[in-house]
Amino acid sequence: MSLAGKLTRMNLLVTATGLLLACAGFVAYDFVTIRQGLVNNLSIQAQVLGSSSVSAILFNDRASAEHTLAALVAAPNVVSACVYTPDGRPFARYRREKAAGIPDQAHPQPGDVARHWFEHGNVLVLDPIVFQGNPAGFIFIESELNAFWAQIQKYLVISVLVLLGALLVAGAPFCSRFRRWRKLRVKSRKNGTIRCVREAIPRPS
Amino acid sequence: MLAAVCVACAVLPLLADGQQPRASEYQVKAAYLFNFSRFVSWPAQGSGDASAPFSICVMGKDPFGQVLDATVAGENIGGKSVVARRLAQAEQPSNCRVLFISSSEESRLREILAALDKTSVLTVSDIAHFAERGGMIQFVLQDNRVRFEVNLASATGAKLTLSSELLKVAVEVRKGAPPGQ
């Protein structure tokens, strides 16, 4: 292999490695931040629903709590949800239509603090419901990670496209066909210039 | 405070769970009586005694017994300790924040409510048609469960602000003008 070829390959390899590392870093960062964002959003959702369920728990109005949980129908990722009494007994449940989630799988204990965990490819959030500084119950929400994976997939596709584009741009100047095309272009430019000069200078009669 | 909240929260769902011992009707009503206080805002009392406790009073024959005292024991609302008081026959309920009017007072209801006019006392009772007759919160039994109706107009007339959370769980909210207006 010629020296030019070796240089070309080395240049491409360095570029590719750099880009690959950069893309991996970005995707890893996005993986963590999107996942954390998803958990935060779900936790906020749980807190909103929890505070809306306080009076239902305190006045033993199951129908009202179920009505509150039914608002989750607007969140297609949520598989199931459950409101618990302060001693951890299921009080009201929600399950998305045709979903396989179990609404009361959290089994909270009095004194439990907010937590989240991942199970069967879903994220599960348990939040204590606090009213006027006192525990009033718990709320549990299970959500699918479809949106998360779709986002990660989108980032991966963008990264691969950027990588390919960058490699194409980086490799083009060293490609033999490109070099040949450039030589031809330079040659034709030179010829054009000579022709112009010839035409501009009047021939002695 | 935690203990009383736990009592209140634990007692209520017992009514719905068939396998566990049921709380008595007045245990539930006592818990509700205390919980109402947590969803109602009273107007600031300019000349009132700031150190006075938050009184939940019972007028007439007391159906709660010690249950009400146990429910409010150690509790506080807005920084004031909560006490349960039984009113003597001639005692004025104007120092009470919440007044439970026992069914023994049904014949005097009009008179009692008239005396409370222009005072910010949350009136609660299980007398039939209490909310219709100008009372603020009426306990009703629905499918063996204690529920309540709210007369929002009466409460607003007494300058009380009832939380939407409370209205959400009421079986009926009357918004019409209270009788006499």
Q: Are residues A105 and A204 in the same domain?
A: no
From the CA of A50, how many Å to the nearest CA of chain B? 12
Q: Are residues A103 and A58 in the same domain?
A: yes
Tell me how far apart the alpha carbons of residues B152 and B161 are, in angstroms, rounded to a whole number. Answer: 9
Say yes or no: ipTM exceeds 0.90.
no
Residues of chain B contacting residue A52, judged by C-beta atoms under 8 Å apart: 165
Give helix B25-38 / helix A3-58 axis angle, nearest 10°. 120
Give the domain range for residue A135. 25-150
Element (H, E) at A143: strand A134-144
User: What backbone phi and psi angles, to 5 degrees, belong to A62?
Assistant: -60, -45
Q: Are residues A138 and A69 in the same domain?
A: yes
Residue A44 domain flag: yes
- Tell which of A54, A60, A83, A93 to mutate to test the B interface (max B CBs under 10 Å): A60
For residue B16, the model assigns a pLDDT of 43
For residue A44, the model assigns a pLDDT of 95
Q: Are residues A103 and A46 in the same domain?
A: yes
In this predicted model, what pLDDT tens digit does every residue of A90-123 receive, in sequence order? 999 999 987 776 777 888 999 899 999 998 889 9
In this predicted model, what pLDDT tens digit does every residue of B27-61 receive, in sequence order? 999 999 999 999 999 988 654 566 789 999 999 99
Diameter over CA atoms, chain A: 115
Q: Are residues A33 and A132 in the same domain?
A: yes
Residues of chain A contacting residue B165, judged by C-beta atoms under 8 Å apart: 52, 54-55
* CATH superfamily membership of B2-44+51-174: Response regulator (3.40.50.2300)
pLDDT of B139 above 80 = yes
Average pLDDT for chain A: 85
From the CA of A76, how many Å to the nearest CA of chain B? 25
Residue A169 domain flag: no
| A85 touching B (Cβ < 8 Å) | yes
Residue A8 domain flag: no
Total structural domains in chain A? Answer: 2
Tell me how far apart the alpha carbons of residues B178 and B34 are, in angstroms, rounded to a whole number. Answer: 24
In this predicted model, what pLDDT tens digit does every residue of B60-94 receive, in sequence order? 999 999 999 999 999 988 888 999 999 987 778 87
Q: Are A193 and A50 in contact (CB under 8 A)?
A: no
Residue A15 domain flag: no
Coil, helix or strand for B169?
A: coil
Tokens of A198: 């010839």
Residues of chain B contacting residue A87, judged by C-beta atoms under 8 Å apart: 6, 9-10
Tell me how far apart the alpha carbons of residues A76 and A97 are, in angstroms, rounded to a whole number. Answer: 10
Q: Are residues A188 and A126 in the same domain?
A: no
Q: Are residues A138 and A181 in the same domain?
A: no
- Tell which of A48, A51, A57, A58 to mutate to test the B interface (max B CBs under 10 Å): A58
Q: Which residue has the higher pLDDT, A32 or A197?
A: A32
